[in-house]
DNA sequence: CGCTGGCACTCGGACGGACAGAGTGCCAGG
DNA sequence: CCTGGCACTCTGTCCGTCCGAGTGCCAGCG
């Protein structure tokens, strides 16, 4: 077990390194933090911390920088979450309150997060699978062509074109619309398949094919995982990443373009509470020199989607975590109101 | 006027510089292109081209690189558009054919363009203002709450929540829906305001307020320019930009995040045919070291939106223009089919 | 036993001069 | 008008030196 002072030394190293981006030496440490001991003592502590794998030196006779393991300890034990100041809270609320629809909420959230943290922000659209159905609408566009519109409690709208095997009258359509809504409105998406299972049986033989087609399209829409959408922003902040650009930045940009990767990343994060993945803790290799801070948000008590930021492992964890948590909270409120 | 050979020299300089990214000297030119003259002659031509402002040297005694003006001449007079090869055409078609809805078409187009050109791709969603209305749907979500869904001929769907000043019955809603659609279905967006002007007059006094509210929301949706959406991709290609990263790349990333800037950029481009904006020809300062190649695309003869790529001024213009044109053509076909 | 000051050592980054190579401009001659 | 030749200029690179920051270790002190 590490002594109290050694933990303080680690904390000081992380803080200084995050601030200066340069390896920090024993002398600078004692000058900037009054640890009450001499550089020589700090050197001994540093050697111990290095043995344990919390810090490393880029070259012999250079200062130390934290390792992923060091950041992990810092986040877990040495630092809290820095709460937003009152003006910041007001700014967040004002900014989000102006949103006119779901797209706008998400867009504003991305901008806000990117600005607050000065990092890359990622916001997932409220997930279909955890939402409930508000309404299902069927529109006849042509005799054998129906548009299916699905509206969720979070305001998200999905639409699909359905080519029917046989012409489908307005009356039948109205009938289907009514029956469908009476069964699924207000229900969770996961329950829908069970609820509509026997629906075709109530219809005339000639319409059953069409009903089945419509239903299967509906179910597809519900499960289709690749319909999970997300929005990213603040990529310009990547330029503040480090000195060796092309190599570091490229895989990150690539990862950000692969929505699948990002969704997986957010998906792997814990369901409740804030998750911080540091450097190599990220399964995706291109993000090995980044940290991801994410948290669920939702309109009620339950999380319907996640949001977070991607930044260099050398980031201000307390501040970032504070911003992410605060934004998630306010977005939840906005969604609950609408 | 420049002699034929001097134009050839300029063409050769552009081609070599695009290929190597390094200033090109007189000797290298004569070796790689058989111009039939000696380096000394080429040097004289280069001096003339430099006097005219088509090329420049980064330092005394370095090779020459083309200026924006040089690229302009190259694009206008010296190079054509390189057509896609047959396999490339097939690949484009195959890739786009798999799309399931409008979002998917746009997403695939972005990926495709980014891959083909190895640059940043920008695709604008089919514009509302130039489209026609396919259907307007009204859904009652609560006694005084209506959802307005607008479906366009290009498959785009917009929805808006409307808070009514007074409760609005199902019968009235159905009435409004029917009257509204009979007037606007199949019409161009720009005609809609005129067509619905006197609509509230046909309703009971107590419903008129609600009808007016719904209509004004509809009109808002139609004109709201900031609803012009676009999708970008291939930002990872920015890492191939140049050597002096942070400075070059940052303003570009910032511009790409400002959808307003991009929309303006595409908007300023000519309505018909392909537009190439080189370096300082771009009004937006952050893009002064980039070129933008854009073209309109549409489902019929008329363009409903634009797409293009953003890359370094040092780009393969013929190839890029070929790819952009080909993709626009196929996207138009896909839209016409659906 | 832990902290401290001192000391020798190592290494990276900055500085500066020398050098090679590429490219130019100019000029005289064909 | 083209060409070969020549002197010049500039950049990038290599190499040796030097300086400073930082370390590890050790002996001494409380």
pLDDT (tens digit, 9 = 90+) per residue, B247-289?
778 899 999 998 889 988 888 887 778 999 999 999 999 999 9
Cα separation of the two ends of chain B: 51
The predicted-structure confidence for B46-56, as pLDDT tens digits, reads as follows 999 999 999 99
CB of A296 under 7 A from strand D? no
Instruction: Give the pLDDT confidence score for residue A226 in this predicted structure.
Output: 42
> Which residue from A minimizes the CA distance to B226?
A104
Q: Cα(A140)–Cα(B137) distance, rounded to whole angstroms?
A: 11
Residue spans of beta strands (DSSP E) within B199-288: 230-233, 275-278
Check residue B106 and give its pLDDT.
93
Q: How far apart are CA B228 and CA B330, in angstroms?
A: 22
Residue B45 sits at the vertex; the CA angle it makes with B42 and B47, to the nearest 5 degrees, is: 110
Query: 10 Å Cβ neighbour count for A130?
Result: 17
Question: A139 and B141 in contact by Cβ < 8 A?
Answer: no
Helix (H) or strand (E) holding B268: helix B259-268
CA–CA separation, A167 and A131 (whole Å):
32
Q: With a cut of 70, which residues of chain B have pLDDT below it?
A: 1, 128-129, 155, 223-227, 242-246, 300-301, 338
Distance of alpha carbon A11 from alpha carbon A77, whole angstroms? 10
pTM for the predicted model, two decimal places: 0.82
Residue B9 to chain A, least CA–CA distance (Å): 33
Q: Is B141 within 8 Å of A135 when comparing Cβ atoms?
A: yes
**Euclidean distance between CA atoms B131 and B298, whole angstroms:** 10
Q: Across the interface, which of A134, A160, A239 has its CB nearest the CB of B250?
A: A239
Going B306 to A250 to B311 to B20, the CA torsion angle's sign is: negative
pLDDT at A31: 87
Q: Strands A230-233, A120-124: parallel, antiparallel or unpaired by DSSP?
A: antiparallel
Question: Around A278, how many Cα atoms within 13 Å sit in the side-chain half-sphere?
Answer: 17
The average confidence (pLDDT) of chain A is 88
Q: What is the pLDDT of residue A151?
A: 80
Contact assignment for B161 to A254 by CB distance below 8 Å: no
- CA distances from residue B302 to B131, B279, B296, B332 in whole angstroms, order as listed: 10, 29, 9, 10
Q: What is the pLDDT of residues A254-296, one digit of tens each?
A: 999 988 899 889 888 877 789 999 999 999 999 999 999 999 9
Chain B residue numbers touching A147 (CB-CB < 8 A) = 135, 151
Strand D positions within 7 A of protein Cβ atoms: 2-5, 8-11, 20-26
Nearest 10 degrees: Cα torsion A258, A263, A269, A272:
150
Query: In chain A, what residues touch B112 (CB-CB under 8 Å)?
Result: none
- A48 CB neighbours strand C below 7 A: no
Rounded to whole angstroms, the Cα distance separating A57 from A64 reads: 5
Task: Look at residue A24 and give its three-state secondary structure.
Answer: strand
Tokens of B96: 């786009």
Predicted pLDDT at A220: 83
From residues 231-250 of A, list those within 7 angstroms of strand D by Cβ: none
Give the chain A residue whose CA is nearest to the CA of B247: A239
Spatial distance from the CA of A317 to the C1' of C10 (Å): 34
Strand C bases near protein CB (under 7 Å) are 3-6, 9-12, 21-27
The stretches in chain A having pLDDT less than 70 are 1, 128-129, 155, 223-227, 242-246, 300-301, 338
Reported as a single tens digit per residue, the pLDDT across A21-38 is: 999 999 989 988 888 889
Which helix (H) or strand (E) is A254 found in, with range? Answer: helix A245-257
Contact indicator for A294, A281 with CB cutoff of 8 Å = no
Chain B residue at shortest CA distance from A111: B257
- Output the pLDDT for position B226: 42
**pLDDT value of position B220:** 83
């Amino acid at each position: 077990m590490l002594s109290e002072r050694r933990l303080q030394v680690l904390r000081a190293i992380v803080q200084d390194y995050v601030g200066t981006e340069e390896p920090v030496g024993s002398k600078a440490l004692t000058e900037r933090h009054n640890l009450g001991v001499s550089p020589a003592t700090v050197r001994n502590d540093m050697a111990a911390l290095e043995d344990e794998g919390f810090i490393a030196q880029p070259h012999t006779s250079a200062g130390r920088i934290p390792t992923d393991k060091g950041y992990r300890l810092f986040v877990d034990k040495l630092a809290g979450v820095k709460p937003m100041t009152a003006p910041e809270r007001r700014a967040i609320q004002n900014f989000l309150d102006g949103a006119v629809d779901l797209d706008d909420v998400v867009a504003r959230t991305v901008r806000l997060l990117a600005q607050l943290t000065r990092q890359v922000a990622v916001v997932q659209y409220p997930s279909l699978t955890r939402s409930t159905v508000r309404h299902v609408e069927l529109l006849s566009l042509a005799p054998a062509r129906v548009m299916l519109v699905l509206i969720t409690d979070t305001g998200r709208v999905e639409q699909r074109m359905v080519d029917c095997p046989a012409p489908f009258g307005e009356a039948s359509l109205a009938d289907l619309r009514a029956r469908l809504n009476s069964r699924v409105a207000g229900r969770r998406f996961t329950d829908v398949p069970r609820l509509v299972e026997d629906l075709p049986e109530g219809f005339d033989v000639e319409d059953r094919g069409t009903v089945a087609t419509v239903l299967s399209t509906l179910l597809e829409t519900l499960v289709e995982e690749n319909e999970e959408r997300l929005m990213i922003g603040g990529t310009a902040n990547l330029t503040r990443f480090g000195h060796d650009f092309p190599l570091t930045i490229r895989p990150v940009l690539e990862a950000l373009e692969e929505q699948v990767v990002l969704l997986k990343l957010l998906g792997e994060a814990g369901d409740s509470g804030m998750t911080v993945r540091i450097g190599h803790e990220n399964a995706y290799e291109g993000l090995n020199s980044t940290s991801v801070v994410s948290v669920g948000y939702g309109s009620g008590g339950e999380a319907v989607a996640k949001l977070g930021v991607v930044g260099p492992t050398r980031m201000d964890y307390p501040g970032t975590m504070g911003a992410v948590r605060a934004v998630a909270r306010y977005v939840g409120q906005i969604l609950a109101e609408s």
